[in-house]
């Protein structure tokens, strides 16, 4: 077999250029906090996050090359390495930690402190990086050409194409500004409603659409296929299941309805009331089954991945220690892992016992290995992190229950274990993608690993404040922040500990997921669609439809690729812009000045006029994406 060390990076090992500089660290930390907060907000709204590597890379190019007049591609790479850590840590945290807030709202336990959230996030993130260090040679170097790492390669291509004068960064910033304005008009000033819904007389179902640019951007980035699966799940919930529940259960009182009949719930709250009382449990069952199915399908690859990676670790000593192969000292790595394991057990703020700490190390290294290789094959977007978290929670909760940990203490311990494992899997996948980008460009692995650690620390310090702001402003589990994964994790733990779940509804969702899988439909996006409101998924579908037409646009392959990529960059900027304004509005809500901004009461517009305004905003957002992609003029024009 060809020796993978023959690969020649863009910057040769013999050449030394600026990398881990004060400039790259400062810009990277800012982007880590920004994209971490934006993705926390997005993930809690729609149950999905997006990669921050490419937008971080283009912003780095714009700032370093154009504004600061510096010309170091490796410096830009450090920026995106630090910046992307924020998105990954946020993704791992929001899938699990909000469950603690949900229990607090039910008076089961106190809210987690910001210190507890920070420590859980920090330890999970640091372990994710340290677990990946001994795997780098096995997965990045020795299997270069075998493991494609699609997103890592794409990020390298973006940085290599940075000679275009910063137009890509300009596209991201335009998206940020546009979405920030729309978000402020809709949710700050409340000039128009954020969604519009449509009903048919004598039909209990409902359909509608939101107008938020970040939600629409998810559809564009994911594409029409995934968007249509999400919307199909919502169609089943809102136009099939809800009408059937209302029709056949009009006078029935079914747990968890608090003594109201289904007819009374529908009369008071409409389809949304039925969704909140019943459909979310069906969606949770579908999500759980989908995560388990995805994990089972991946088992052969998981086993092979773990075996091959562990075998390959021992080969690292055969690689010459030049600049492009220098890594963190293994003694420091192993010592840090040991210290972090003891910290999980001994720090009072983290509700984990010695058994829990052992579970974290064993499952953490296993899933770090799996995650790193999985993203190498299918990319971060298809990495079954939620499935890994579900498997961890099921096993950890059972172990904790059998060892005497029950009630609020047992549930908080289970979610802490699941949170750390989830963050480990997310960060190790992100680290491997960044190291692949660095391998192609000729970065120094040690400096990238340090950069990843810096990104983790910055993001961990910010995530607790972010979660508190969002919860205080809207509340997790609300219509504004559904927090689907965290709600699912909460239900799983309660189901094991207390056996209080409405299992009939959960099993209905689980068997829907099985049917969908047998039909060959990707089960996780469909299950998320079953869980989330149809208005939100309709907005995602609009973005997917736009992407469909952009993909079909006229031109040669290079022109088509540029149009698609420009749209992705603009949409990535919109996600960041809306997320930041969402955090700003949360701060304004907490200090009590948000109501002073509202102008809808003064306008007092008829419902028809308000809904027309919502449609106009939707059309403007569609136009903006098309203007940034299909209708964007190239330099030669």
Beta bridge partners of 197: 208
Name the least confident of 149-163, 394-408, 409-423: 149-163
Distance CA 132, CA 127 (A): 8
Domain boundaries, the chain: 4-163+350-457
Of 241, 243, 284, nearest in space to 266 by CA: 243
Strand intervals (E) in 193-293 = 195-198, 207-210
Q: Specify the pLDDT at position 462.
A: 94
Segment 147-169 shows an average pLDDT of: 70
Question: Which of 108-112, 164-168, 539-543 shows the lowest per-residue confidence on average (mean pLDDT)?
Answer: 164-168
On whether the pTM is more than 0.95, the answer is no
Residue 321 above 80 pLDDT? no
Q: Quickly state the pLDDT bin for 166 (edges 50, 70, 90).
A: low
Confidence at residue 178, expressed as pLDDT on a 0 to 100 scale: 94
Q: How confident is the model at residue 319 (pLDDT cuts 50, 70, 90)?
A: very low
- Cα(first)–Cα(last) distance of the chain, in Å? 47
Q: pLDDT digits over 256-269, tens only? A: 666 788 989 898 88
Of 280 and 399, more confident:
399
b/e per residue, 71-99, with b = 16+ CB within 10 A? ebbbbbbbbbbbbbbbbbbbbbbbbbbbb
292 sits in which H/E element: helix 280-313
Q: What's the confidence (pLDDT) of residue 298?
A: 64
Closest CA to 467 of 46, 102, 182, 85: 102
pLDDT band at 224 (very low <50, low <70, confident <90, very high): very high
What's the rounded Cα separation, in Å, for the pair 594 and 581?
Answer: 12
**Which pLDDT score is estimated for 101?**
95
Q: What is the pLDDT of residues 460-475, one digit of tens each?
A: 999 999 999 999 888 8
SS3 content of the chain, % helix, strand, coil (to 5): 75, 0, 25
The encoded tokens of residue 508 equal: 């209905």
> pLDDT-based confidence at 621, cuts 50/70/90?
very high
Find residue 207's DSSP bridge partners: 198
At residue 3, the pLDDT reads 44
Q: Is the pLDDT of residue 152 over 90?
A: no
Residue 501 confidence (pLDDT): 66
Q: What percent of the chain is modeled with pLDDT above 70? A: 89
- In whole angstroms, give the CA distance from residue 424 to residue 129: 8
Peptide bond before 51: cis, by omega within 30 degrees of 0? no
> What are the two backbone dihedrals, phi and then psi, of residue 251, each rounded to the nearest 5 degrees?
-105, 10
pLDDT-derived band at 623, boundaries 50, 70, 90: very high
- Shortest CA distance to 133 belongs to which of 362, 366, 333? 333
Q: Mean pLDDT score of the chain, rounded to an integer?
A: 84
pLDDT, tens only, 487-517: 878 888 888 887 666 778 888 998 999 999 9
- The two tokens of residue 348 are 């009072």
| DSSP annotation of 144 | B
What pLDDT, in 10s, does the model give residues 530-561? 888 899 899 999 999 999 999 988 778 888 88
Check if the beta carbon of residue 286 is closer than 8 Å to that of residue 531: yes
Q: Specify which residues 147 forms β-bridges with.
A: 144
Band of residue 316 on the pLDDT scale cut at 50, 70, 90: very low
Q: Tell me: the pLDDT tens digits for 589-612?
A: 777 777 778 887 777 778 888 889
Q: Which of 40-44, 92-96, 202-206 has the lowest mean pLDDT?
A: 40-44
């Amino acid at each position: 077999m060809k020796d993978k060390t023959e690969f020649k990076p863009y910057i040769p090992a013999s050449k030394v250029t600026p990398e881990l500089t004060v400039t790259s660290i400062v810009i990277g930390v800012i982007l880590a906090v920004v994209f971490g907060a934006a993705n926390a907000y997005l993930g809690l709204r729609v149950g999905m996050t997006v990669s921050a590597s490419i937008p971080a890379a283009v912003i780095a190019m714009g700032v370093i090359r154009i504004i600061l007049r510096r010309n170091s591609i490796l410096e830009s790479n450090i920026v995106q390495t630090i910046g992307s850590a924020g998105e990954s840590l946020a993704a791992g945290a929001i899938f699990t930690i909000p469950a603690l807030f949900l229990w607090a709202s039910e008076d089961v336990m106190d809210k987690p402190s910001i210190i507890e959230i920070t420590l859980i996030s920090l330890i999970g993130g640091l372990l994710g990086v340290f677990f990946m260090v001994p795997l780098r040679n096995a997965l990045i170097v020795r299997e270069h050409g075998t493991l494609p790492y699609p997103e890592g390669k794409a990020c390298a291509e973006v940085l290599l194409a940075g000679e275009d004068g910063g137009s890509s960064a300009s596209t991201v910033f335009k998206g940020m500004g546009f979405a920030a304005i729309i978000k402020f008009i809709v949710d700050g000033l409340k000039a128009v409603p954020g969604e519009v819904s449509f009903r048919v007389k004598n039909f209990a179902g409902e359909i509608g659409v939101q107008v938020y640019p970040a939600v629409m951007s998810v559809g564009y980035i994911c594409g029409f296929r995934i968007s249509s699966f999400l919307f199909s799940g919502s169609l089943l919930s809102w136009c099939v299941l809800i009408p059937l529940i209302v029709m056949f259960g009009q006078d029935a009182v079914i747990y968890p309805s608090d003594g109201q009949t289904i007819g009374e719930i529908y009369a008071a709250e409409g389809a949304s009331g039925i969704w909140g009382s019943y459909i979310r449990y069906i969606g949770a069952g579908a999500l759980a089954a989908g995560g388990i199915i995805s994990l089972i399908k991946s088992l052969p690859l998981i086993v092979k991945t773990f075996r091959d990676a562990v075998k390959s670790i021992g080969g690292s000593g055969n690689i010459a220690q030049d600049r492009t192969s220098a890594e963190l000292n293994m003694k420091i790595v192993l010592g840090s892992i040991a210290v972090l394991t003891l910290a999980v057990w001994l720090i009072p703020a983290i509700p984990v016992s010695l058994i829990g700490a052992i579970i974290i190390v064993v499952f953490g290294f296993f899933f770090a290995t799996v995650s790193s290789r999985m993203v190498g094959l299918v990319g971060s977007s298809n990495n079954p992190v939620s499935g890994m978290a579900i498997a961890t929670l099921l096993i950890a909760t059972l172990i904790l229950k059998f060892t005497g940990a029950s009630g609020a203490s047992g549930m908080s311990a289970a979610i802490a274990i699941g949170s750390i494992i989830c963050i480990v899997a997310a960060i190790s996948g992100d680290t491997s993608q960044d190291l692949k980008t660095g391998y192609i460009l000729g970065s120094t692995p040690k400096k990238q690993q340090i950069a990843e650690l810096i990104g983790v620390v910055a993001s961990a310090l910010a995530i607790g404040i972010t979660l508190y702001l969002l919860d205080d402003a809207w509340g997790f589990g609300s219509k504004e922040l559904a927090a689907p994964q965290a709600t699912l994790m909460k239900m799983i733990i309660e189901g094991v500990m207390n056996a209080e779940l409405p299992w009939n509804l959960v099993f209905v969702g689980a068997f829907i997921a099985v049917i969908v899988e047998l039909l060959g439909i990707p089960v996780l996006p469909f299950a998320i669609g079953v869980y989330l409101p149809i208005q939100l998924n309709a907005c995602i579908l609009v973005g997917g439809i736009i992407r469909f037409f952009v993909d079909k646009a006229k031109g040669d392959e290079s022109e088509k690729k540029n149009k698609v990529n420009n749209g992705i960059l603009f949409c990535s900027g919109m996600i960041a812009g809306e997320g930041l304004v969402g955090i700003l509005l949360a701060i304004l809500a907490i200090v009590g000045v948000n109501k002073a901004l509202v102008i809808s009461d003064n306008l007092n517009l008829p419902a028809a006029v308000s809904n027309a305004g919502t449609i106009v905003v939707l059309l403007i957002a569609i136009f903006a994406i098309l203007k940034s992609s299909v209708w964007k003029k190239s330099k030669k024009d």
